[in-house]
Structure formats: structure tokens, C-alpha cells
Amino acid sequence: MARLDVIETFHGILFPGHLHTQDSLQLALKFEFQDTDILIVSYPKSGTTWMQEIVTLITNRGDPHVSQTVPNWARAPWLEQHYCAAVLEASSIKPRVITTHLPYHLLGPALQDSKAKIIYVSRNPKDVVVSFYHFHKMANFLPDPGSFPEFLHQFLEGTLHFGSWFDHVKGWTTATMNNLLHITYEEMSMDLHGAIKRISSFLQCPLEEGKVNDCVKHGSFNSMKDNKMVNYTLIAEEIMDHSKGSFMRQGTVGDWKNMFTEEQDQYLESVFKSKMQDCTLEFVWEK
Ligand code: A3P
């Protein structure tokens, strides 16, 4: 079988070549957004799949039919992946929901005059790096992560696939756009009901209280863990090996405490302090 962990380098950032090609990445930068589009943006492992589910539920007024019958990659495809255009063309789902992990400095120009609604989800980097580490173990289109200390070092250096977490978060949080909503994984985790109301209001898709409760119910970790349309168990085992872990792994805030040593914590804190000093975003590190 051909190797899946082939690397594509684009504008100095590594991407999994199994899913991203020079052509698909190039096309993403020139993508013509429609004003009715909803774009979900995140660094990997920040709650992307969760937001895909929440947006699907909100736009379907709490009805779980679409989220339980259409895989997330077919209802909110990744802009930079080679199948995106074909999926959008074949889909009758409106409004179009598109997902991306691209950094602002690459995608910003395509969004310049667009009225598409953009939701940027971020998560505290300690939980991101732990989640990403476990994901590398099960995702055969990503390189073997090696040891956690090595992986943490690469994460802090910004040399992992999808580039630097710091550049990603700073790029999107300092972007000046009226149609951009910032939300954190931790906010969703601590008050999903309130987060859904904020997102639905941003999407101009007001929901009655009962419908918000439906979204909370179907967008909960336990519900999504069992939903084949989002837990990635439909993906072939040679691409994602569920014997090595679950995509819906912990779903908590502060799991990093089970992984980090004191020294690793100080290492991340010092890099965070120096790189994020001009960023106003405040993260919640534990519940
Ligand atoms: P963990 O590995 O910490 O459990 P992404 O979709 O960006 O790849 O992010 C995946 C992370 O989001 C995983 O984190 C996954 O468990 C978590 N997640 C997905 N759905 C969730 C939900 N409904 N509630 C809480 N966390 C969720």
C-alpha cells in the first residue's frame, strides 16, 4: 500500500499530502466565498468537529437528522482538501458550511470583501498539544509523533503539520473583520447552552429555548462520541486506526495535567509568555 504520511509543504507549512495537494491548497487561496457561507476556522484539535456539529444543529433548528445521516466531511468539508469543490457541488445543504485549518495570512486575502460568516475556534495550547499527540498516533496520514517531549518541542517550535499554533491564533484573533466570531473550546465546554445562543445569534439563526436545548443534547460529547457521522469510525482503518485511540478521546478542559511534567509546563508557559504577549485572548487552562 502507498504510504499515507507523505508531506506537502506549502508556503513553508507542512500539510498531510494524502489529503492536501499543491493544487487543492492553491485553489483554497483563490476560493470564491458566497455571502451566505459559514466558515469554521481552527488550528487542529481545537474543537473543529464539535463546531461542525453545533453549526449543523443550529442551522437545522436543533433537528439532528442531518448530523446523524451525513458525515461531517460531506456537510462541512475542509476547504484545503482535494475533495472540497466536488463535495460542495454535489451537496444541496444550505447554507454552505466550510471548514479550514489555514492560517489567516494565507486565507485572509480570499475573505477580504466577503460577507461570509466566520467562526474562529481556539483552545488552550496545553490541551491542543496533548490531543494532537494522541491524534498523531491514530492518524496514519500524519507522521509518528515520537515521544511526547519531542512532540511538545516541535509544537512549540511551530514545525508540526499545519504550522505554528501561536501564529494561527494570533493571525486570526488580530484580524479585523466584522463578520468574525471568536469562541473558545473552554467556553463551549463550560456553558454549551450559552455558546449555542451566541453562535446562533451571530449566524442570525435565532432559536427558541427548546431548540437550543436540542442542540445542547445532540452536540454533547456523549452524543457525538456515539455518532458515526462525526466520530470518524466510518474512515478506513488504514487511514485512522481506532485500535490506537478514539477521535472522541476525552473531551475535557485540563487533560494536559495528566501528561505534562512540571518542567514541560514551565517550557510551554515561557514560550507562551514570549509569543503571546501582544495577544488579548485569555485562555482557561483547567475547569
Ligand atoms: P481530546 O483529544 O482532548 O478529547 P478537532 O475536531 O479540532 O480535531 O478537535 C478534537 C478534540 O475535540 C478532541 O479532544 C475531541 O474529543 C474534542 N471534542 C469533539 N467533540 C466534542 C464535544 N462534543 N465536547 C467536548 N469535546 C469534544
pLDDT tens column, 148-187: 999 999 999 999 999 999 999 999 999 989 899 999 999 9
Q: How far is the CA of 51 from the centre of ligand 1 (A)?
A: 10
Cα–Cα distance for residue pair 216/200, rounded to 1 Å: 12
CB 239 within 8 A of CB 4: yes
Cα–Cα distance for residue pair 226/120, rounded to 1 Å: 25
For residue 235, with 0-12 CB atoms within 10 Å meaning exposed, 13-18 middle and 19 or more buried, which class applies?
A: middle
**pTM of the prediction?**
0.97
State pLDDT tens for residues 30-87: 999 999 999 999 999 999 999 999 999 999 999 999 999 999 999 999 999 989 999 9
pLDDT at 3: 75
SS3 118: strand
User: If you average pLDDT over residues 122-127, what whole number do you get?
Assistant: 98
Pocket test for ligand 1, best of 240, 244, 248 (most atoms within 8 A of CB): 248
For residue 270, with 0-12 CB atoms within 10 Å meaning exposed, 13-18 middle and 19 or more buried, which class applies?
A: exposed
**Which atom, in ligand 1's list, is nearest to the CA of 248?**
16
CB of residue 42 inside a 6 A radius of ligand 1: yes
pLDDT at 279: 85
Query: What letter represents residue 108's amino acid?
Result: G
State yes or no: pLDDT of 1 exceeds 70.
no
> Nearest C-alpha to atom 19 of ligand 1 is from which residue?
50
State yes or no: pLDDT of 188 exceeds 90.
yes
ipTM of the complex, rounded to two decimals: 0.99
State pLDDT tens for residues 206-258: 999 999 999 999 999 999 999 999 999 999 999 999 999 999 999 999 999 99
Q: Which domains does the chain have, with CATH numbers?
A: 32-275 (3.40.50.300)
Contacts of 249 (CB under 8 A, 6+ apart): 131, 134
Pocket test for ligand 1, best of 49, 58, 161 (most atoms within 8 A of CB): 49
State yes or no: pLDDT of 2 exceeds 70.
no
**Whose CA is closest to 133, among 105, 161, 114, 112?**
161
Contacts of 263 (CB under 8 A, 6+ apart): none
